[in-house]
Structure 1
Amino acid sequence: MSKLDEVAKLAGVSKSTVSRVINHSDTVSAQSKQKVLEAMQSLQFQAQELKRSSDNSGMIGVVLPFGKQIMSQSFGIDLLAGAEEKAFENDYMILIGNSVGGREQMLTAKMMQRGAEGLIMLIGGGRPGQKEHLKSIQAQGMPVVLVDQKVEGIDTHLVRGDNFMGAVTLMEHLFGLGHERIGIVSPNKHFTHKERIKGYRYALLDKSLRMPDRFELLVEGEGANVEEPLERMLVDADRPSALFVTSPGLLMGVMSVLNRLELRVPDHISIVTFDEVYGNFPEEHQDMFTAINQSGKQMGGMAVELLFQHSRNPEQEYQEIVLPGKFTIRRSTGPVQG
């Protein structure tokens, strides 16, 4: 253990906080500074010898799933851009890791070995051992900020979009157009989509509207086949007049069914969604969907800022930052017909 580690452990702060104290930074709270100075005195360490032994890396690790390919217009790339911009402003660099294939534990271990001073992670809940892994990271004194996805049972910093109220906003837009028969097509595995489903149900309950069970098409993930069950929902005469598709990854499957059934958007059916700006759509569907769009760049920058705040004051309570999305009306919604 380096002398910097020893002081950080005794003071109950991060190594970067100790580094800022010995370099006379004015970004450290008076309480944290006092703890560091008392620890230095107890261990009989001088600032100069701590500077010589300092292994402050100036690096932050970012772990997120890229999928099989990295698209230039994607939530992950925007998140990285926001994180890198904020980190660079503070003379820090970013280590990037692709967690696809269950590599989270290996990536975080290697980042910590290379001196990362904090981790930003976008992870889906439910994988075996995930909570234990996050708790293990925290037990080693590594600050963690989760982005977009909340993991139940873990207390840590979190930056996410307001999925619940975003869903309510989309539903209220449909109500305003006269729609009272609204179906939902959604993954149901992760926190983000569960919150959107809750918003859908709350909005209906608030209007005292009850949908048939078959109007809720909930699937395991974005790769699931929605076409057959959706076609069964839409072939009946009492089909929904609007659909809330909670993920842009499902939209092309939905559009394929509508084309097959010769249902025009929005003449026969309206569609609302989330994060349309991150959808990989053919030209005819560009700038088409009414949506709540969330900013990955804003979330990435906010996540890095939370790490810096934690470094300045490790004793602060964990924060959950909820960022509202931008509501954009496009040509996929219109008044209910007859």
Structure 2
Amino acid sequence: MITIYDIAEKAGVSAMTVSRVINNTGRISEETRKRVRKVMEELHYIPNALARSLVSQKTNLLSLLITDITNPFYTTLARGAEDAAKKAGYRLLFANSDEDYVKEKDYVDMILSTRVDGVLFAPAGDRSLENLQQLQKHQIPFVVLDREIPGIDADVVLGDSKEGARNLVEHLFALGHQRIALVNGSLDVSTARLRYTGYSEALRLNSLTVDDSLVIHLGFRDFHDDSALDELLALEDPPTAIFAANNMLALGVIQSLRKRGLQVPGDISVVCFDDFGPAGAINPFLTVAAQPAYQFGQLGMQLLIDRIEGNASNESRRIMLPSELIIRSSTQSISTPVS
């Protein structure tokens, strides 16, 4: 293994000079710096990041912990975070909790042992409080993404879930639908609560009350649960439209409908929160409340780096990004004859 002593011998300088070149410290002539770096390249020397971090107390490593790597919202968010991190000279470690608190805790333990400088954290839900408190206890800076956690005061980047949900339901009302079902995530997740609130408010604004038989709460990753759809379709007065609270739930709803021989939107209209990223552009179909996923990651990373580098005040910052209603072909007027 090549060491700084090997570099020093070949470059004709002291080991201390090599160390200063590596860590960009001390007063060294540009000629000496170039000579040392040339030798490092010739010998394919890679500095020991852990050793450097013990001296500088900084690793230039950041972590991004998301809840579902298969969800295009989070993959696009991750791209925004990675691009911003790289631009600022940081490297990014990815972790995926699968909406699982235990798995999330394991990753938090790994993050603490890896000595990262900070964490972008998309929580699994309200019980993520304990995991975030662990980061606070060890004074690891973090920014919360997508979901708020009661009891945590931190920088956060959110989408306007309530307004986006209300817009989707209003769109369905405009098409004549009144029996609108909601297939939602678990209510221990803030986005599910807010999307339920937006759904409820839209009903109330149209002189309707929530029919509990039309509301189903699953996990955001339980999109293969066919039993939920069976309950809705078995109702004496079944829904004419379904609002899926995220894109993966919408995918499951549409697959389940097609297995039963039902057409979207011919037999039933479907809308959902979140788009499908670049993959959705191939055959855009679903009417969605699209969130700017790339900006979630980019802005979250900027907040985190500001916090790490001492460019933020003690006061927590809160950014809320609007969604965009994109009307496509998964909805139709209830007065349109069924094909």
Query: TM-score over 0.5 for the alignment?
Result: yes
CA–CA separation in structure 1 for the residues paired with 2:278 and 2:261: 23
Q: Which runs of 5+ in 2 are unaligned?
A: 1-24, 27-52
CA–CA separation in structure 1 for the residues paired with 2:317 and 2:255: 42
Q: Which residue of structure 1 lines up, in the alignment, with residue 198 of structure 2?
A: 199
CA–CA separation in structure 2 for the residues paired with 1:256 and 1:114: 41
1:75 maps onto 2:73 in alignment: yes
In structure 1, which of residues 72, 94, 97 is the aligned counterpart of residue 95 of structure 2?
97
Q: Which residue of structure 2 lines up, in the alignment, with residue 8 of structure 1?
A: none
| Cα 1:75/1:224, change in 2 over 3 Å | closer
CA–CA separation in structure 2 for the residues paired with 1:80 and 1:260: 33
CA–CA separation in structure 1 for the residues paired with 2:271 and 2:60: 42
| Structure of larger gyration radius | 2
TM-score normalised to the size of structure 2?
Answer: 0.73
| Cα 1:55/1:218, change in 2 over 3 Å | closer
Q: Which residue of structure 2 lines up, in the alignment, with residue 300 of structure 1?
A: 297
CA–CA separation in structure 1 for the residues paired with 2:110 and 2:176: 54
Letter in 2 for 1:153: G
1:71-124 C-alpha deviation (Å, 9 max, x unpaired): 5x7223222211111111111111223334624344334434443221111121
Do the aligned partners of 2:241 and 2:268 also contact (CA within 8 Å) in 1? yes
Do the aligned partners of 2:73 and 2:275 also contact (CA within 8 Å) in 1? no
CA–CA separation in structure 2 for the residues paired with 1:256 and 1:328: 21
Letter in 2 for 1:316: N
CA–CA separation in structure 2 for the residues paired with 1:330 and 1:122: 29
CA positional deviation for 1:211 = 4.4
CA positional deviation for 1:232 = 3.6
CA–CA separation in structure 2 for the residues paired with 1:247 and 1:279: 16
Secondary structure of residue in 2 paired with 1:276? coil
Q: Which runs of 5+ in 1 are unaligned?
A: 1-21, 24-50
1:149 maps onto 2:183 in alignment: no
In structure 1, which of residues 63, 66, 74 is the aligned counterpart of residue 65 of structure 2?
63
| Cα 1:249/1:119, change in 2 over 3 Å | same
Q: Which residue of structure 2 lines up, in the alignment, with residue 186 of structure 1?
A: 184
Do the aligned partners of 2:64 and 2:95 also contact (CA within 8 Å) in 1? yes
CA–CA separation in structure 2 for the residues paired with 1:255 and 1:53: 55
RMSD of aligned Cα (Å): 2.9
TM-score normalised to the size of structure 1?
Answer: 0.73
CA positional deviation for 1:303 = 0.8
| Superposed counterparts of 1:315-326, under 5 Å | 315-326=313-324
| Cα 1:209/1:111, change in 2 over 3 Å | same
Which shifted more, 286-295 or 250-259?
A: 250-259
Which shifted more, 161-170 or 291-300?
A: 291-300
Which shifted more, 224-233 or 155-164?
A: 224-233
